[in-house]
């Protein structure tokens, strides 16, 4: 089997598309989410922030900080 046969077979069978989807980068797991799951705590904004900032929230909170939170608990900053 040569390279052109592999390419043709891959396109014909649709395997190339499936292989490319598997190559997509996935984000590493969020250690705070894992911590909450290990403790069997629900994902709430309060639980997440307490686990992520055990010494208290930063004095200022920017849109970038908000965007770093899981989407389910983000607030819209106007």
Q: pLDDT tens, 16-52?
A: 455 555 555 677 889 999 999 999 999 999 999 999 9
CA 6 to chain centre: 33
CA separation for the pair 42, 45 (Å, rounded):
9
The answer as to whether 35 is a domain residue is yes
**Inside any domain, residue 7:** no
Determine, yes or no, domain membership for 26: no
Residue 10: pLDDT band (50, 70, 90) is: very low
> How many domains, the chain?
1
pTM value is: 0.62
Domain residue limits at 50: 31-73
**Looking at residue 72, what DSSP letter applies?**
G
Is residue 4 one of the residues assigned to a domain?
no
What DSSP line would sit under 37-77, residue for residue?
HHTT----HHHHHHHH-TT---SS--HHHHHTS-GGG----
Residue 42, SS3 per DSSP: coil
């Amino acid at each position: 089997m040569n390279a052109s046969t592999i390419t043709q077979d891959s396109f014909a069978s649709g395997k190339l598309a499936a292989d490319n989807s598997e190559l997509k980068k996935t984000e590493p797991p969020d250690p705070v989410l894992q911590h909450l799951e290990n403790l069997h705590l629900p994902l709430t904004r309060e639980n997440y922030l307490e686990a992520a900032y055990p010494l208290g929230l930063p004095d200022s909170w920017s849109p970038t900080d908000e965007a770093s939170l899981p989407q389910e608990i983000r607030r819209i900053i106007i």
